[in-house]
Chains A and B, each alone.
Chain A
Amino acid sequence: MSIILKYIIVFILFTSYMYSKEIRIGMSADFSGQISYLGNNMKIGIQSYLNKINKTSEYKYKLISYDDRYNPLQASLNVRKLIEKDKVIALLGNLGTPTANVVLPILNEHKILLFGAYSGGNVLREINENNYVFNYRASYSQEAYNIVLNLIKQGLKPKEIAIFTQNDTYGDSGYSGVIKAYRELGITDLNKIAHARYTKDTLNIESGLSKLLDYDVDFKAIVMVSVNKPFVKFINFAKEDFPNVKFFALSPLNSASLIKNKIKFSKDIFITQVVPMLDNNLPIIKEYKKDLKESFPDIEANLISFEGYVVGKLFVESLKDLSKDKLNSKNILDELYKFNKIDIGLGFTSAFSSRSHQYTNKVWLTTIDGEKLKEIKWSEIFKK
């Protein structure tokens, strides 16, 4: 009897010791659905970094992840479970805007942090409403904004640029960036912006394209806020009407799939990225490749897991000065507001602030070069 009791006591002490040294982080994403490649890669990236930290740190970061299959209801259930049952101190690298819409009220209710979500949705960047969201990456809106401003910089006239968006929040986020850019250029009449939509989950781009024809302009650039399949169909159709047009897409586009399917007109396709290309000579890229190989030797490096790695590192680094036994959502928030600019190896320094919950607005422009993406300068696009 007494032996059993002793074992129980030892077990309790042991587990409480383990718990006290464990920092629990939650993640809800699509790990088995249509965009599971995003979820799985994000997780791989985050885990790679945490594994490295856990090797030397007294406090062990534990990533608890649940599959939501990109289903908002499941995502809300997962997040509740993570917060209430698993007692995570923060959520890392959640996936998608529709899921974020239902998760955010829960986070506000429990005052739990959502850090580095893989989404450029505007809803994640409404600081006043969602005070517990911190992002690494530029928003879709900023990507689109960046594209428009850079195109103008390269000598294009505003009316030579068309916008083609998916009829949902993703498309609207991009469109809002474009509007912002045009406003800065002094164009306030939205009717002057050539804009068309296509229905989400369909390939019905004809109607939208026919609307663009109404502007009776030979567009030089079309900013595409869309997903792969309609993107491909649209390019094929639009090249009939606008043979010289160039297409500018945002980071969610699955460039690997485009390359794999040997897309036509690849020279005229440009995609912005929120992380630098992996052939860059940046410290964090070396670090990422090394740690990935160590934790997941069979998995090839890609931009998505790299973003996960960046998010993981940014989270840990931001809280480096915070005593680990004081880790709670309030202390984390205070720590993130300290305006300490840090360089996580991306070649620049930045910081969070109460006015900006986003580490960087920076985007990298890429194009398809044969079998892979390569970084390209804006000035090189229209040189030919």
Chain B
Amino acid sequence: MIKLFQKLTKKLSIKSIVILGVIIMALIITAFGVTMIYLSSTIKYDQSTLKNILKLEKQNQNILNTIKDIAYLENRILTSNSTKDLLGFEKQLLGEQDIKFSIDSKQKVIYEHNYSSKLTSVVTNLNKRIISQNEIYDSKAIILFYELELSSYKSKIDELILLITNESESIYGLASLITKRYNRALKRSKAKVDPSLNIQLGKVMTLSKDLDSSILKLPTFIHNINSSKSIDLINTISKNNLSQLILLVEDSLVKLSLLQDLNTNFKTNTSNINSKFLEVKDLITFLIISKKQLLKEEKKLKKLIFKSDNLNDKVFDGIRQLTEISSDIKLNILSHSDSISKRTTTTIVIVGLISLVLIALAATTLISRINLPLEFIMKFIDKIVNSQKSLSSKLPILSNDEFGKLSQSFNNMTSTISSNIGEIKHLNKEIEDTQKEVIFTMGAIGETRSKETGNHVKRVAEYSRILALKYGLSQDISNLLKEASPMHDIGKVGIPDAVLKKPATLDSQEWEIMKTHAELGYDMLKHSNRDILKAAAIVAHEHHEKWDGSGYPRGLKADHIHIYGRITAVADVFDALGSDRCYKKAWPLEEIKNFFIENRAKHFDPKLVDIFLENIDEFLYVRDKYKDVFD
């Protein structure tokens, strides 16, 4: 795959590969980002849904609690026995306005319609329930009112009956007492006989007894009415038993009132009984009416309770359905979040893998496209540096990319450099040659001022070089000395011809003038910066100095004499002795050798003398090569 990729990208430049890589990565990151944002938005949606579900569930719980509260309160209302207790519950009664249940309109649950319509029906039922609760309260209040009335009627009736019986007892007792007293008096013959009075008193007693027994039956019937649960039964009792009883009492009362004149107390008692019995009759009527109303109200209450039970069931059922829906939603959310988490993981893994592959591809490609050509170029440069390849050799162009261009540029550069170097070398050689020529010519000029031959200069040059090399000086220095040594007698240019060319032996004054050529040569050359001329100045100045300090111009000793001077001295003397001159013949070799042995460490550097003697053949070869030919 990597190779395929490399093949595909072969024709693309690195820059375009990098741009391409960046674009692809940007696309991947964007895709990844978009996917994640999408997933997180669905999670957010789930979360808000869940929150709403929880709110709704809490609301459901509130509704259930409300129903329970209502049921509890209602139970207490129904079991309360007194109006006072009942009134205590009035404040706890819920009104419709106390119930605020609704769906958040912003909530866009998938199940919204289903849920909200159910909730609406639940809340409607709850409201109905609240109304029914209030109705039950009202009904119970009415019932309690009637019960209160009934019990007050009953206790009033009981009280009145007691009073009536007391009155009738009083009538009876008084009638009895009067009778007894009459009989007692009769017995003791203290009073007149009036049998009709006794009969009448007897009637009074009987009537009061009858009245008593009749009126004492009243409570039983009233009790029957009071404990009756059916209006029909009440009607029967009141029509038959009660009205008969009342007739009986009234009959007794009418008869008693006929006899009330017997005693003033009777009159009071009878009228008391009359008025009280009227009250009793009224109270019984009221009692029956109240009782009937009570029964009606109880029936109504039963219906209300049945209705509210129904409503309870409806609300409970509605809540159950709501709970089912919300638990469904919760399950969905759960599975959704499960899938989301799976998808997230998958996305991350896939994106990660793709990114890794792409990064690996890019890396390998870049390495192959950058590192390999770079190394190749560097190796090539190394080779040039190490002179394994010539500067003019060409770097092969491997690819068409930046490195191809770089190689091309490199090749151009090396070829330019190579051609320039050639030119420089040529110029340099020319300069050097000119210099050498000048120096040589200058040396030759010096020679021409003396008796020396033209080849003398060449030989001294060669001898100096050989000595320098053998002495241990470097190739360059040796070559330098070779170039410089010919100019050792340049100072002779400044010696007057009278002295210089005097064929006779020089007197001491003339000799002193002759000696100045060393100083003169030095002064001529000392200002130059050129290495050759500097070396030539030293040679000119010191080539007449001697090891033991007996030389001139400065009388330097041993090491104080520059090695150039010491070498040139040996070379110059050897050539003077060893070469034929127009005016003399060359010394035999043995004499020359002896001369140098004698002057070792006197005139010459002992070490140089040793070198000379050891390598005498080389010197001789040079002497023969540049032999002056005299015609």
A-to-B contact residues, CB < 8 Å: 199, 202-211, 213-214, 216, 237, 240-241
Contacts and interface: CB of A to CB of B under 8 A. Distances in A.
B172 interface: yes
Contact of B177 (A199, A202, A207, A216): A207
- Tell which of B170, B173, B179 has the most Cβ of chain A within 10 Å: B173
A213 B184 contact: yes
B151 to A, nearest CB: 16
Given A206-B176, A207-B177, A199 B184 contact: no
Instruction: Please name the 3 residue pairs, one residue from A and one from B, whose CB atoms are nearest each other, closest first.
Output: A206-B173, A207-B173, A213-B180
Given A206-B173, A210-B176, 8 more contacts: A202-B170, A204-B173, A207-B177, A210-B173, A211-B176, A213-B177, A241-B181, A241-B184
Interface in B158-182: 166, 169-170, 172-174, 176-177, 179-181
Contacts of B174: 206
Contacts of A207: 169, 172-173, 176-177
Contacts of B172: 207
Nearest to A205: B173
A209 B177 contact: yes
Contacts of A213: 177, 180-181, 184
14 contacts: A204-B169, A204-B173, A205-B173, A206-B174, A206-B176, A207-B177, A208-B173, A209-B173, A210-B177, A210-B179, A213-B181, A214-B180, A216-B184, A241-B181
A262 B394 CA distance: 166
Interface string B250-294: 000000000000000000000000000000000000000000000
A202 B179 contact: no
A209 B170 CA distance: 12
B442 to A, nearest CB: 122
A204 B166 contact: yes
Interface in B471-526: none
A61 B169 CA distance: 51
Nearest to B166: A202
Size bin of chain B's contact surface: 10 to 19
Nearest to A203: B170
A209 B181 CA distance: 10
A204 B170 contact: yes
Contacts of B179: 210
A213 B185 CA distance: 11
Contacts of B181: 210, 213, 240-241
Contacts of A199: 166, 169
Contacts of A203: 170
Contacts of B177: 206-207, 209-210, 213, 237
Contacts of A237: 177
Give chain A's interface secondary structure class. Answer: helix
Interface in B561-614: none
A143 to B, nearest CB: 27
A210 B179 CA distance: 8
Nearest to A241: B181
A210 B182 CA distance: 11
Contacts of B176: 206-207, 210-211
A211 B170 CA distance: 14
A207 B177 CA distance: 6
A24 B179 CA distance: 60
A73 to B, nearest CB: 15
Nearest to A214: B180
Contacts of B187: 216
A208 B181 CA distance: 13
Interface in B365-414: none
A202 B163 CA distance: 9
A240 B173 CA distance: 16
A216 B180 CA distance: 10
Contacts of A205: 173
Interface string B178-217: 0111001001000000000000000000000000000000
A216 B173 CA distance: 17
Interface in B49-78: none
B188 to A, nearest CB: 10
Contacts of B166: 199, 202, 204
Contacts of A216: 184, 187
A206 B170 CA distance: 7
A207 B170 CA distance: 7
A213 B184 CA distance: 8
B169 A202 contact: yes
A21 B265 CA distance: 64
Most B CB within 10 A of own CB, among A203, A207, A214, A237: A207
B180 A210 contact: yes
A202 B169 CA distance: 10
Contacts of A204: 166, 169-170, 173
A206 B180 CA distance: 11
Interface string B136-175: 0000000000000000000000000000001001101110
Nearest to B179: A210
Nearest to B184: A213
A241 B184 CA distance: 9
A212 to B, nearest CB: 9
Contacts of A241: 181, 184
A211 B177 CA distance: 8
A198 to B, nearest CB: 9
Nearest to B188: A216
Nearest to B176: A210
A14 to B, nearest CB: 38
Nearest to B187: A216
A297 B176 CA distance: 53
Contacts of B184: 213, 216, 241
A213 B169 CA distance: 17
A61 to B, nearest CB: 38
Contacts of A211: 176
Contacts of B180: 210, 213-214
A24 B166 CA distance: 45
A202 B174 CA distance: 14
Interface in B98-119: none
Name the residue among B177, B180, B181, B184 with the largest chain A CB count within 10 angstroms. B177
Nearest to A202: B166
A203 B166 CA distance: 9
A211 B176 CA distance: 8
Nearest to A237: B177
B459 to A, nearest CB: 128
Contacts of A210: 173, 176-177, 179-181
B170 to A, nearest CB: 5
A206 to B, nearest CB: 3
Contacts of A202: 166, 169-170
Nearest to A240: B181
A206 B169 CA distance: 9
A208 B170 CA distance: 11
Nearest to B265: A206
A350 B408 CA distance: 150
Contacts of A209: 173, 177
A71 to B, nearest CB: 15
